[in-house]
A and B are shown apart, each in its own frame.
Chain A
Amino acid sequence: MKNKIAVQVDDLTVAYNYKPVLWDIDLEIPEGVLMAIVGPNGAGKSTLIKSILGILKPIAGSVAIYGKPYDKQRSLVAYVPQKGSVDWDFPTTALDVVMMGTYGSLGWIKRPGQKEKKAALEALEKVGMLSFKNRQISQLSGGQQQRIFLARALVQNASIYFMDEPFQGVDATTEIAIINILKELRKAGKTVIVVHHDLQTVPEYFDWVTFLNVKKIATGPVKDIFNDDNLTKTYGINYKVVVSD
């Protein structure tokens, strides 16, 4: 079943100054997986996502989305940035932020109309934030802000979702709400790629995993490759996890 390749990365190398942050990454992500990217701080997890999405310019390598260059396939891809990457004191409302998800399909100059508003409201409903639609974004809690970001990506109605640490600084309720939405996306045949920090929850949340530490250590189904050996290779210390079945 899982034979179609959603995202293919070839020989990707990224450097900020002299030191490479990512070195010669080859990666194939099959369609319909819920994948975690794990690795220590500075391993280049966010950088990997950002260079796949063209936010950062790689030194070498190429990215293909369903076999075509990313530039031609933008509408298939949605991105949820780290919550801390924006200024939440910006004067706007929750609904307004979610509406931004429709800007891409609108293109230049055209304004969002009723259709876009309806889509945004539906997305807010899905993340359980409908009653906060007119709330100032500065008055939302961390978990609520994360849900707004997720709703903004849902509005794009993409096939592939990239998320940068969606569980960072959110409470347990939000974490469960988010993971349920991600699992629903997978059920609908979408591909979801998540930068993730909490190793304990990897087997519970995800079915696919990529170990990253500047180089790609391993990638594949969680049940096959999520083991002490790979964790030790990635984190450089003797790591023992209890994988419950």
Chain B
Amino acid sequence: MLGSFAVLRKQSLLGDAISHAALPGIAIAFLITGAKDTNTLLLGALISGLVGTFWIQGIISKTHLKSDTALGLILSLFFGFGMLLLTYIQKQPNANQAGLDKYLFGQAATLVESDVWLMSIVTGICLLVLLLFWKEFKILLFDADYTKTLGFNTKFIDILITTFIVLAIVLGLQTVGVVLMSAMLLAPAAAARQWTNSLSMMVFLAAIFGAFSGVFGTAISASQNNLSTGPVIVIVAGIFVLISFVFSPGRGLLFKQIRFIKNRRDLKLHKTLAFMYHIAKTHEDISHPHTIKILNNFQGYTKGTLQKLVDKRYVKLESGNWSLTNEGYKTAANLYNQQSENNE
């Protein structure tokens, strides 16, 4: 759901950076409290995720570095620091430490009821904020400068969006883990964009795709032994993306190709017809027959296109000679008029 905004902001990689940036937060939270309470750990993740995000934005606005450089820098820096802390924790004689690494790849199986409650509540809040500030989010995404001139506090809207993206990521960490979280954020949104041209529909579809990936992924991993849930969910989401890229009617590759071929074929027919119309005009009888050789000599039209025109009854074939029918003549004349109108 929130992934739609990340995709439209062209900050897709931000999700990746945030999820990696959350790792040291988890580790530090554990070091301070010494306990493995989920809420505390996630709070740590949230804080370090936010710190990472604002650093990234700071780097972009204060230096000449491009956003991808800033993202990469923060991503690896925080992740490296997080790994360092994790290994340090593992060396400690604290029996509690086992299992922290589940945040790396996620372990949906370890979710308990209170975790699910937390997720539902935060999702509910996200939804509410999204509905309330829908107009503000939309206009900021489309045209930030203009939004400012209308008197909106763009910084506030920006921080609001970013905070909720970070929140969504941090919550997902438990399920799919640091490494795969960004796919969970982006895949549903990227898939949804293929099917629709309206922002509300895109957000709605992304939520549906995300939910389905979660349900299917969990079901598949539960039915097989030794399949961890997180990666399966991500793969299911990936399949959604693949299907969307190929089969969506407006932007999909398949339909684009089909439309392209069909257009070419139509144009070829029209050209052949127009050509015959021109020759026919020079003769008194519009159905003056021509051999294919003459037609071929001019522009190399294939027998195939002529045959198709015969099927449409625009052209008739008599003893090896091709000629225009009355109907074909009329259609060609119309076509010709249309063309010149379009050009005006």
Contact = CB atoms under 8 A, between A and B. Distances in A.
Contacts of A106: 135
A115 interface: no
Interface stretch (B141-149, B164-172, B264-272): B141-149
Contacts of B101: none
A105 to B, nearest CB: 9
A75 B132 CA distance: 23
Interface in B138-195: 138-139, 141-143, 145-152, 193
B221 to A, nearest CB: 33
B135 A103 contact: yes
Contacts, number: 78
B135 A91 contact: no
B199 interface: yes
B193 A55 contact: no
Contact of A87 (B10, B133, B149): B10
B141 A109 contact: no
B130 interface: no
Interface residues of B, number: 27
B197 interface: yes
Contacts of B10: 87
For chain A, give the interface size range: 20 to 34
Contact of A81 (B8, B132, B145): B145
Contact of A85 (B143, B148, B149): B143
Given A106-B135, A109-B132, A136-B197, A74 B151 contact: yes
A100 B142 contact: yes
A103 B10 CA distance: 24
A221 B68 CA distance: 48
Contacts of B198: 91-93
Contact of A92 (B136, B149, B199): B199
B196 A109 contact: no
A109 B149 contact: no
A110 to B, nearest CB: 8
A104 B150 contact: yes
A79 to B, nearest CB: 4
Contacts of B146: 79, 81, 100, 152
Contacts of B332: none
B202 interface: yes
Contact of A77 (B8, B142, B145, B149): B149
Contacts of A100: 138-139, 142-143, 146
A111 B138 CA distance: 12
Contacts of B143: 81, 85-86, 100
A91 B150 contact: no
A55 B8 contact: no
A93 B146 CA distance: 17
Nearest to B149: A79
A18 interface: no
Contact of A50 (B134, B145, B147, B199): B145
Contacts of B201: 91
Interface in A85-126: 85-87, 90-93, 97, 100, 103-104, 106, 108-112
A15 interface: no
A86 B202 CA distance: 19
Given A90-B8, A91-B198, A103-B135, A55 B149 contact: yes
A54 interface: yes
Between B146, B151, B198, B202, the greatest number of chain A beta carbons within 10 A of the residue's beta carbon is seen for B146
A108 B10 CA distance: 25
Contacts of B145: 50, 55, 79, 81, 85
Nearest to A80: B146
Interface string B253-279: 000000000000000000000000000
A218 B169 CA distance: 55
Contacts of B202: 91
Given A103-B135, A108-B136, A90 B142 contact: yes
A85 B307 CA distance: 51
Contacts of A136: 197
A55 B148 contact: yes
The 5 closest A-B pairs by CB, nearest first: A104-B150, A79-B149, A74-B151, A86-B143, A91-B197
14 contacts: A54-B148, A79-B145, A79-B146, A79-B149, A87-B8, A90-B141, A90-B199, A91-B201, A93-B197, A93-B198, A103-B152, A104-B152, A112-B135, A136-B197
Given A103-B152, A108-B133, 8 more contacts: A55-B149, A81-B143, A91-B199, A93-B197, A103-B150, A104-B150, A104-B151, A138-B197
Interface of A: 50, 53-55, 74-75, 77-79, 81, 85-87, 90-93, 97, 100, 103-104, 106, 108-112, 136, 138, 152, 156
